[in-house]
Structure 1
Amino acid sequence: MIKESLIQGIIDKKLQEDEMFLVELEVKPGNKILVIVDHDNGVPISYCIELSKVIEAGLNRDEEDFELEVASAGIGQPFKVKRQYQKNIGREIEVLTLEGKKFNGKLTEVADDTFSVEIEEKVKVEGKKRKELQVRTVNCKFDEVKQVKDIISF
């Protein structure tokens, strides 16, 4: 079976040269290779084709057959690596915590093991009849969230 480390070695230099980053690399039974990449400005399909050719050139089908899929990180898909968080600073995201709590807000900061989200919520203000919209910052630890993804708005 083809090893992920072999694929990693084949694509590392290319990704670095093109300022791309690896989101996911998986080799499933039957040598089904999945490579998902991203870039701060998105990934054109032509780049996926180019990277696919680099991988094909680095492997030998005569020694071991394989199935290859190279794709860009999908819009609205959960973030898998910290660089995706950094790429989306200033954008609206949806956070699902391990406790099942879900909220939306603007991603404002990313640190080593946490990220910050600015959320708007209606709060009852003492002495007023109506609730007022207030903005507050929620700090989340990466290991305390189940899923985070960007929100697409039109």
Structure 2
Amino acid sequence: MEFRNKIEQLLNDFLAQREDLFLIDLKISAADDITVILDGDDGVSLQDCLDASRAIEFNMDREEHDFSLQVMSAGLSAPLSMPRQYAKNIGRDLKLLLNDSSETEGELVKADDEKITLILRYRKPKEVGKGKMDVVEEKEIPYSEIKKATVVIKF
């Protein structure tokens, strides 16, 4: 079995046992440096990374094929790349860069397989008179319009 296929199979077997975890990225360099990036519905613990690493490493023969292996979580500042990541971040604020180069920021209140729904809060000038008024708007955005989405980190 080809090296990459063997790694993918071992990783898929591990993830089949851990349905709370999912694969974000698998990279294998020309020098056989393997990088696995995972995310989970409830986050990813150090133990989750160790378990995934062992599931791969203990089933490979380093005498047959030498490689290096890194298993890590996606990280808090990493862009969201799949609907499952959006769903786990409901209730958090997201910053979006859209395909038309505009940016928007709002609270994620809903996510399905085609789109997300944000609550946007902003101030705009009053239509009559001076001053500004608070506006709360619900906006649906299809994934196809999102170039990059990140969770806004608040302290």
TM-score relative to the length of structure 2: 0.90
For structure 2, list consecutive stretches of 5 or more residues without a partner in the other structure.
none
Deviation at 1:136, TM superposition (A): 0.7
Q: CA offset at residue 133 of structure 1?
A: 1.2
Q: Give structure 1 stretches of 5+ with no counterpart.
A: none
> When the two structures are aligned, how many residues end up with a matched partner?
153
User: Conserved in 1, the CA contact under 8 Å of 2:21 and 2:39?
Assistant: yes
Alignment partner, residue 125 of structure 1: 126
- Sequence identity (%): 30
The correspondence of residues 4-153 of structure 1 with structure 2, limited to 5 A, is 5-18=5-18, 19-153=20-154
Poorly superposed stretches of 4+, deviation over 3 Å = none
Deviation at 1:43, TM superposition (A): 1.2
Letter in 1 for 2:58: A
- TM-score, length of structure 1 as denominator length: 0.90
Q: Would you say the 8 A contact 1:24–1:80 is kept in 2?
A: no
Report Cα offsets for 1:8-41 as digits up to 9, x if no partner: 2212232232321111112121111111111122
RMSD: 1.6
